[in-house]
Structure 1
Amino acid sequence: MALQDAVPLKARFRSVPLAYVGLALGLLAWAGRLLLPELWIEQFYSRGLFVGVRSLIDYTFGWLPFPALYLFVGWLLYLAAKGVYRWRAGEGHIGQKLKGLLIWWLGFLGWGVFLFLLLWGYNYSRLPIEQELGLQLKPLSTDEIRRAMYQEADALKVLRAKIPGAGTEALGREHFPENLEEVLRAEQEAWLHSHGYPAPGRVRGKLIYPKGVFLRFSSAGLYFPWTGEGHVDAGLHPIQQVGVMAHEMGHGFGFGDEGTCNFLAYVTCFHAADPAIAYAGRLDYWRTLAANYLRVDRDGYRTFRESLPLGIQADLDAINANLMAYPDILPSFRYLLYNSYLKAQGIEEGIQNYNRVLMLVKAWKEGQQI
């Protein structure tokens, strides 16, 4: 009987301290997230420790031919099954079991927070990109949004005319390079290096299945810090996959702010030598402008949209039809959850942060005199 009692006691001796260590590390890491100055994080984490983390991840998980997220989900399912088994097979009264379960969960969450911040999350507190680039951001008026929408449309007409085989039908996967991920990575690395940012490792943007796994929750992609990979919903229209992949790569290179990653996607595609990539990235930005303009002048937007070349209209129609094939599941819940997550990371405007790209692009173009 003494030997039987010693086994669960030994197991508890191993797991309880580990849980306490995880909880302590999680609290300390979060305190650092709140207290460390932006300049310190920029210099010593984003341009220091994270550079090593990025390379370590990319030359381990990054070489997998499939998203490491699949392995992570499998590991979580294993832990859940193991926990249920131990709960049912364990000895002691319900109070002891609940206490042990609570300690385990607190430790698990602590380790999760600690690794989230260590592997990527501190990048939310780095210096804003506009400060590093010397950009002055100002909200756009309705008239400025309208003018930007017209200007981008003019650029789209020119770019689409340069795409081999592009006619009045919507573009398809055949219009984009097979090594899209490599091309986008090289373009983004070049832009970051030219502006004094490190671009370490081999950031990935992998397609994830089943199709619609993100789209049904009003999302298109995901950067998963615990595996260090960007993911793009395979159900996206090929035109949209370009901008989303470039956006997730921006996260992978150490930028947490959503508007900043939208901006990185724009400048990555803006400078692309491939006209299809340049077109797709700028069409994604045009859709953001159009969505904002549509809110204040629905009739004006519709009139302008109908004046666009048939090929561009076909692309917009194809994107919309594809999105409609994956209706949202619990859109309000997703909005509340992700909005709360972004605010917890210090992004005060929450999900509206995505639209910060409008101010960034405008300021960048003015600085470049474009």
Structure 2
Amino acid sequence: MQNKRRNFILTILLGVQIALVQFVSQQPNWVETYYSTGIYPYISSFFRILFGWIPFSFGDFLGIMLLTYAIRSFYKLIQNKFQHFKTSLLSFTAFLSVLYFCFYAFWGLNYFREPLAKSLGYTQTKYSTEALVKVVKKLISKTNKLQFKITQNDTVKVVIPYTYKEIYMKASNGYKNAAYIYPQFTYTTPSIKSSLVSLFQSYNGTSGYLNPITGEAQVNDMIPKTGSLLTTTHEIAHQIGFAAENEANFVGFLAAIFNNDIYFNYAGYRMALVKCLYDLGRRDKLLAKKLWKTVHKGIIKDFQNANNFWKQYENPIEPLLKKGYNSYLKANNQVNGIASYNYVVDLLISYFNDNHS
């Protein structure tokens, strides 16, 4: 009886929480001041200290256990011909209430903070095709130079010589260097893990994710390594409170190009190049193709290798999963859904226009 009363109260509180989150979502200044730059850094550091030392993804392990328990519980419910359906439903909604609280209290409120562009002093306006072309040319030059410096041959694909453990260790160096100019990018006590469900992530088209309950940055360790470097810095950006995908892409880019390691530099410019070229292709396909021809063949082979990897995992379920993720992003203040990943271009243009070479 006591459990039933507790579950009923938690279920009622779920509605209250949803209303509160909707209210807070309209207060970005409050979220920025009191949560994202207030209490969240302490919450984040606490969870990284708590789980970072564990050599495997505790969040994935916990998720697998919960999923197993849910399947068993549902099976028993069917076996008992739904005799305790109301009690089970109440237990489920009570669990959702706790999960909802943990998600937004531990990390999710970062979706509603002030735009990163504001804290960086960038004026976000519609950029011209000319401005985009200028940045694309700069990115091609940068990426070509780094590819050639690594391989000494413009037709050879860059191969990352590090293990995943080494990648995770090296990734924080870029944040350390970037923090001298951008203090909001300070990162301590790393907690980066290879996902226990990398195969599942490959099939749903995901290269990594942040577990908002344990604060662990999860990396799909099956993807080509030139992509994994940026995935790692991207997920770290989520860890330090940048929830929006375009902002995490940009912060991850900065952490990569500020890294002392040339492979991270290459990975950073590589990501920026593909995002900007894609955007240019939507505006002027012929010009994008013309510029694409100036990209070193070694870089093109790198992109082809990545495309071939994802193609082998295409399946009829993936679009449904992406549709669900798209709805999740839209529900959390990212009106462009999955397309938000590509909206890093305006931040990149602002960065290069801000007297950066």
Q: TM-score, normalised by structure 1?
A: 0.86
Equivalent residues in 2 for 1:303-314 (5 A)?
303-314=290-301
Question: Which one-letter code corresponds to 1:68 in the other structure?
Answer: F
The answer for the alignment partner of 1:65 in structure 2 is 55
- What secondary structure, in the 3-state scheme, does the structure 2 residue paired with 1:151 have? helix
Q: In the alignment, what sits opposite 2:186?
A: 199
- Aligned: 1:26 with 2:8: no
Q: Does residue 225 in structure 1 map to residue 230 in structure 2?
A: no
Call closer, same or farther: CA 1:102–1:343 in 2, change over 3 Å.
Answer: same
The aligned counterpart of 2:309 is 322
Displacement of 1:39 in angstroms is 1.9
**Aligned-pair CA distance for 1:258:** 0.5
User: Does 1:128 find its partner at 2:115?
Assistant: yes
Structure with larger Rg:
1
**SS of match in other structure, 1:59:** helix
Amino acid at match of 1:63: W
Q: Does 1:147 align with 2:134?
A: yes
Give the drift of 1:338.
1.4
Q: Distance in 2 between matches of 1:100 and 1:192?
A: 51
Count of matched residue positions in the alignment of Structure 1 and Structure 2: 355
How far off is 1:164 after superposition? 6.4
Task: Select the residue among 244, 249, 253 that pairs with 1:262.
Answer: 249
**Distance across 2 between alignment mates of 1:177 and 1:100:** 45
> Percent of aligned pairs with the same residue?
22
Partner residue, 1:272 = 259
The Cα offsets for residues 93-115 of structure 1, whole Å up to 9 and x where unpaired, read as 95x61211221111111111001
Matched with 1:367 is 354
Change (3 A) 1:240 1:24: same
Worse-superposed segment, 329-338 or 22-31: 22-31
Residue in 2 that maps onto 1:162: 149
Which residue matches 1:7? Answer: none
Summarize deviations over 1:279-321 as a string: whole Å, max 9, x none.
1111011111222233344444344333322322222222222
Structure 1 residues 249 and 25: CA distance shift in structure 2, 3 A? farther
Q: Is the 8 A contact 2:253 2:268 kept in 1?
A: yes
In the TM superposition, residue 189 of structure 1 has moved relative to its aligned partner by 4.2
Question: Do the aligned partners of residues 295 and 85 (structure 1) sit closer, same or farther apart at CA in structure 2, a change above 3 Å counting?
Answer: closer
Q: Which amino acid aligns with 1:224?
A: N
Query: Which amino acid in 1 is paired with 2:200?
Result: V
CA deviations 1:186-206 (Å, max 9, x no partner) are 322442463232635424332
**Deviation (angstroms), 1:230:** 1.5
The answer to whether the 8 A contact 2:60-2:197 is kept is no
Question: Hey, what's the Cα distance between the residues in 1 that align with 2:252 and 2:150?
Answer: 20
User: How far 1:29 sits from its partner (Å)?
Assistant: 3.4
Kindly report which structure 2 residues correspond to 1:180-219, keeping only aligned pairs within 5 A, or say none.
180-192=167-179, 194-197=181-184, 199=186, 201-209=188-196, 211-219=198-206
236-245 or 284-293: bigger deviation: 284-293
SS at match of 1:312: helix
Determine helix, strand or coil for the equivalent of 1:194.
Answer: coil
Amino acid aligned to 2:278 = A
Give the distance between the partners of 2:98 and 2:4, measured in 1 at CA.
13
Q: Aligned Cα RMSD in Å? A: 2.6
Q: Given the alignment of the two structures, is residue 115 of structure 1 paired with residue 102 of structure 2, yes or no?
A: yes
Shift of 1:116: 0.3
Letter in 2 for 1:73: G
Residues 193/45 of structure 1: CA separation in 2 closer, same or farther (3 Å cut)? farther
Contact 1:62–1:229 (CA under 8 A) maintained in structure 2: yes
Q: Contact 2:32–2:114 at 8 Å: present in 1 too?
A: yes
- SS of residue paired to 1:188: helix
- Deviation string, structure 1 residues 135-157 (Cα, Å, up to 9, x no partner): 11123334433332221000112
User: Any unmatched runs of 5+ in structure 2?
Assistant: none
Are 2:28 and 1:45 equivalent residues in the alignment?
Answer: no
Please list every run of 5 or more consecutive structure 1 residues that lacks an aligned counterpart in the other structure. Answer: 1-12
Quote how far apart the aligned CAs of 1:322 are: 2.3
Q: What residue in structure 2 maps to residue 3 of structure 1? A: none
| Counterpart check, 1:354 vs 2:350 | no
TM-score, length of structure 2 as denominator length: 0.89
